[in-house]
Chains A and B, each alone.
Chain A
């Protein structure tokens, strides 16, 4: 449990002259679940994209299993195989059936045997309740179903690390639960994950550690009980306040609007 899987040291990310991530240091142990929260535009997505080398970085190092990740590395696709990523907008391949979406990379990238991959794909789909959708096309699925397929597609590559970027943000409220349940199960299996989310209750339930990101830096890093009960910094307190405030304020607002 104490083995380090991902290590980020002095990471600097700029877009042109804008400093987006400023000296990020982070160590993720095997089996650890990290939840990253912070205000919009603080660089959460950018952090995940840097870890997957979808963005070039301007300073520092990121390494997985001791191997450095950088966008010039020849073994980049080998490293990316070990990192599964799930996007807010699902990004299933619309021209392929659910089963072929899941099987494509294991077959073409890992050159595994078709029967074996198919069996695993179907087992994984069954676990998220979508075995009977194997032959469907993405456009025939609901948002929640698409997102569960996207998770299965990442899992079928046997990744060592899973990255989730606001995977429920585009979903209707009634579908959020089915996706979060899948992620909770993965956490229970001991998967290593970095999750960006705005679902605070879920964050509290799933995280081993919360990272609070603001202005491109990690402001707080603490276990969820500690972070949510006793945030150390004013910025974190303010951020958490906006959530409780909104929760109280919204109903009033709608009632008022109805009266008008």
Chain B
């Protein structure tokens, strides 16, 4: 193991990791927004829109991220939309993540039994109060495990970004291997940096899940 090589190239990886984190975070944030909107449409059975989100969800869940990225990166310029690779990455991740988040939130909402809602209504609450005080808090906590799994899944999916010439961690590793043939060192750095990104998320997720369990759920 060439430690000098490793130490020397840490800054390069740091930069790439920062790019991965940036795209990953923004991608997750937009996934959440798309997921919330789609879940609400499905839950409230909004006519027409419900069909459209249904098609989107199937499309997004049943095609690989790489192909979605190609469509955005090579397809959009063909219809005259200029694309910046970083924006493409975020858009691709959001397109993929939106459907996963939608499913997580929707199943959380649907896990709250209709009779819970009736019990709130029978106490004189209106629809808004029923959603806000009774349905959403329960749905949110039910969604947490799936939500955390999705965040980790999406961050892992960022490893295909090098395919649209984003200089992310994967790109950096491949580049270094090509230039110096230091395969082991480059891959060790790659794994370490991915772990540095994902482990904290994973640990936070576990803590959050545990906290919710102790807060009196699951009766």
- Report which A residues bind B (CB closer than 8 A): 52, 54, 77-78, 80-81, 83-85, 87, 89, 91, 93-97, 104-105, 108-110, 137-140, 153-154, 157
Which chain B residues in 98-148 approach chain A with CB under 8 Å? 115-116, 118-126, 129, 133-134, 137-138, 141
Contact B125 A93 (CB under 8 A): no
- Report which B residues bind A (CB closer than 8 A): 115-116, 118-126, 129, 133-134, 137-138, 141, 215-219
Contact A109 B216 (CB under 8 A): no
Contact A54 B138 (CB under 8 A): no
Task: Count A-B pairs with CB separation below 8 Å.
Answer: 75
Contact B119 A109 (CB under 8 A): no
Contact A137 B216 (CB under 8 A): yes
Contact B219 A139 (CB under 8 A): yes
Name the distance in Å between A215's Cβ and chain B's nearest Cβ. Answer: 25
Q: How far is the CA of A138 from the CA of B138 in the complex (A)?
A: 13
Q: How far is the CA of A80 from the CA of B117 in the complex (A)?
A: 13
Q: How far is the CA of A84 from the CA of B121 in the complex (A)?
A: 10
Among the listed A78, A95, A110, which residue makes an inter-chain contact with B137, where contact means beta carbons less than 8 Å apart? A95
Name the distance in Å between A147's Cβ and chain B's nearest Cβ. Answer: 13
Q: How far is the CA of A89 from the CA of B218 in the complex (A)?
A: 15
Contact A109 B115 (CB under 8 A): no
Contact A77 B133 (CB under 8 A): no
Name the distance in Å between B108's Cβ and chain A's nearest Cβ. Answer: 12
Contact A95 B124 (CB under 8 A): no
Contact A95 B115 (CB under 8 A): no
Q: Which residues of B contact A94 (CB under 8 A)?
A: 138, 216-219
Closest 7 CB pairs of A and B: A139-B219, A137-B216, A81-B124, A91-B119, A105-B123, A85-B122, A109-B124
Q: How far is the CA of A89 from the CA of B125 in the complex (A)?
A: 19
Name the distance in Å between B214's Cβ and chain A's nearest Cβ. Answer: 10
Q: Which residues of A contact B219 (CB under 8 A)?
A: 94, 137-139
Q: How far is the CA of A15 from the CA of B121 in the complex (A)?
A: 21
Contact A95 B122 (CB under 8 A): no
Q: How far is the CA of A58 from the CA of B215 in the complex (A)?
A: 43
Q: Which residues of A contact B122 (CB under 8 A)?
A: 52, 54, 80, 83-85
Q: Which residues of B contact A81 (CB under 8 A)?
A: 123-124
Query: Taking each of B123, B124, B134, B218, which has the highest tally of chain A beta carbons within 10 Å of its own beta carbon?
Result: B123
Q: Which residues of A contact B216 (CB under 8 A)?
A: 94-97, 137-140
Contact B119 A77 (CB under 8 A): no
Q: How far is the CA of A254 from the CA of B116 in the complex (A)?
A: 38
Name the distance in Å between B25's Cβ and chain A's nearest Cβ. Answer: 28
